[in-house]
Amino acid sequence: MIEFSHVYKTYPGPVHALKNVDLRIDQGEFVFLTGPSGAGKTTLFKMISAYDTATSGDVKVAGYDLLSIRNSQIPFFRRKIGVVFQDFKLLKDKTIFENVALPLQIRGDKNPAIHRRVHEVLEQVGLGHKHDQYPEFISGGEQQRTAIARAIIHQPGVLIADEPTGNLDPRLSEEIMDLLERVCAQGTTVFVATHDHEMVKRRNKRTLTLRDGIITGDTK
Ligand code: ADP
Ligand code: ADP
Averaged pLDDT in 10-residue chunks for the chain of 220 residues: 98 97 97 96 97 96 94 94 96 98 94 97 95 96 96 96 94 94 96 94 96 95
42 lines ligand 2 (CB under 6 A): yes
**Per-residue DSSP letters for 159-195?**
EEEESTTTTS-HHHHHHHHHHHHHHHHTT-EEEEE-S
ipTM: 0.77
Å from CA of 39 to ligand 1 middle: 8
Rounded CA separation 23/16 (Å): 18
pLDDT of residue 220: 83
**Atom 26, ligand 2: residue with shortest CA distance:** 51
pLDDT of residue 53: 94
pLDDT of residue 199: 93
Distances in Å between the Cα of 155 and the Cα atoms of 117, 151, 206 are 10, 8, 23
Å from CA of 215 to ligand 1 middle: 15
Residue among 11, 191, 209 whose CB has most ligand 1 atoms within 8 A, to mutate: 11
Å from CA of 10 to ligand 1 middle: 10
CB of 153 closer than 8 Å to CB of 117: yes
Distance of CA 91 to the CA centre of its chain: 18
- Kind of pairing between the strands at 206-211 and 214-219: antiparallel
86 lines ligand 2 (CB under 6 A): no
CB of 132 closer than 8 Å to CB of 96: yes
pLDDT of residue 82: 97
SS3 (DSSP) at 118 = helix
